[in-house]
Amino acid sequence: MLSPMKGHRLAYGIAGGVLLLVIAAGAWLLTREPARPPGPQIPTISGPDGKEYVLLARGPHQPTYDDKGALDRIEYDRNGDGKPDQVARHYGQRIPTLVENDDDFDGQPDHWVYYDSAGLLVKVGSSRKGGTKPDFWVYSGPDGKATKQEYDDDGDGRVERVEILTDGRVTGVEVDADRDGKIDRWQNWQAGRLVSEDLDTDGDGKPDRRLRYSPKGEVVGLEPLSGR
């Protein structure tokens, strides 16, 4: 299982014709023989996208390559039931951009870990309703602390709410109220309460009105923003 941690990085190395993949200081080790040119003796499998992929290894780790010889993904069977429950998606790159985990071993992913091109952890996704696609993401800073949370409340694949975090507390919220793919509400939070909220009332993507709130959460003012 992969999980967010401070300094979480993927590392690779090649020694004596053996490919080594190390995640989180030894959490995952992959070995395979050097790749051979595709041919009749090498089996292929059909991917979820309908394409044929070359299978170069069998066992707990199964790397698959596209028709150009680029690494597409590596599947790993952690519990030995013959079904992959961890998939590292490389999409032709040396370092995977996404690792999907099936932590309850029901055949469906439920934990998604995203990396940048340097192998550094970017965000971790989960499904709050137990679905097969993420609807909640947490972004981490260099110190491993959460800096942002995103929510897809209607399951359409687009984020409707973003929470900005400082030292674990919400300091800002961005909302796509009409769910058109654009943020139209910007909230300022201080000491755990909503202080003010900027609104885009004409749909141009820029705030033009500001609401002010009392310590009790009541609206105490509405004013146009300067230049609007």
pLDDT digits (tens, 9 = 90+) for 113-165: 999 998 888 999 999 988 889 999 999 888 888 999 999 999 898 999 999 99
Could you tell me the residue range of the domain that residue 201 belongs to? 145-228
In a domain, 188, yes or no: yes
Please give the share of the chain, as a percent, with pLDDT higher than 90: 55
Q: Which residues contact 19 (CB under 8 A, 6 or more apart)?
A: 12, 30, 31, 32
Q: Which of 208, 211, 214 is nearest to 222 (CA)?
A: 211
Average pLDDT over residues 69-76: 92
Spell out where the chain has E strands.
10-15, 18-23, 44-46, 52-55, 61-65, 71-76, 86-89, 98-101, 111-115, 121-126, 136-140, 146-151, 161-166, 169-175, 185-190, 193-199, 209-213, 219-224
In a domain, 224, yes or no: yes
Instruction: Quote the pTM value.
Output: 0.70
Contact criterion met (CB below 8 Å) for 32 and 166: no
Residue 59: predicted pLDDT: 58
In a domain, 183, yes or no: yes
Give how many domains the chain has, as a whole number: 1
Q: Which of 209, 173, 176 is nearest to 194 (CA)?
A: 173
Burial of 71 (0-12, 13-18, 19+ CB in 10 A): buried
What is the sign of the dihedral through the CA atoms of 57, 63, 66 and 70? negative
Lookup: tokens for 69:
């010889």
In a domain, 213, yes or no: yes
Contact criterion met (CB below 8 Å) for 58 and 89: no
In a domain, 193, yes or no: yes
More confident residue, 191 or 15: 191
Q: How far apart are CA 77 and CA 86, in angstroms?
A: 7
Residue type, 194: L
Residue 58: predicted pLDDT: 52
Lookup: tokens for 101:
């985990």
Report in angstroms the alpha-carbon separations of 175 from 77, 123, 164, 183, 223: 39, 20, 11, 5, 20
In a domain, 187, yes or no: yes
In a domain, 206, yes or no: yes
Q: Answer whether residue 47 shows pLDDT above 90.
A: no
In a domain, 132, yes or no: no
Residue 30: predicted pLDDT: 33
Q: How far apart are CA 190 and CA 107, in angstroms?
A: 43
Q: How far apart are CA 85 and CA 116, in angstroms?
A: 22
